[in-house]
Amino acid sequence: MSKENRYVVFQDIGTRTWKETAMLRTLGNFITDESGATAIEYGLIAALVSVAAISGFNALGSALADVFGHVADTLDTAVVLDD
């Protein structure tokens, strides 16, 4: 909604007090404000990135555990030469 048309719904017909006009203007600002929606969108993006990172770290952790398990098994069966 453009700034020019923003208060069309709340046009003063001449019978309202200044408090009523100010309240309606504040209500109009609240209705047209989209900054909260942007913050929610950023929060959802951050949550999605977090879930993807946690899934990736879990997969990486499993792969590392397998590698280190293989290294440990190989070292257990290695022949130790005494001098």
Measured between alpha carbons, how far is 71 from 73 in angstroms, rounded to an integer? 5
For residue 13, what pLDDT is reported?
A: 57
pLDDT band at 19 (very low <50, low <70, confident <90, very high): confident
10 vs 20, more confident: 20
The pLDDT > 70 percentage for the chain reads 80
User: Rounded to two decimals, what is the model's pTM?
Assistant: 0.45
- Please report which helix (H) or strand (E) contains residue 65, including its range: helix 35-77
Q: Map out the domains of the chain as residue ranges.
A: 1-33, 36-77
What is the tens place of the pLDDT at every residue in 39-74? 888 999 999 999 999 999 998 988 899 999 999 888
Q: Token pair 């290695």 is at which residue?
A: 78
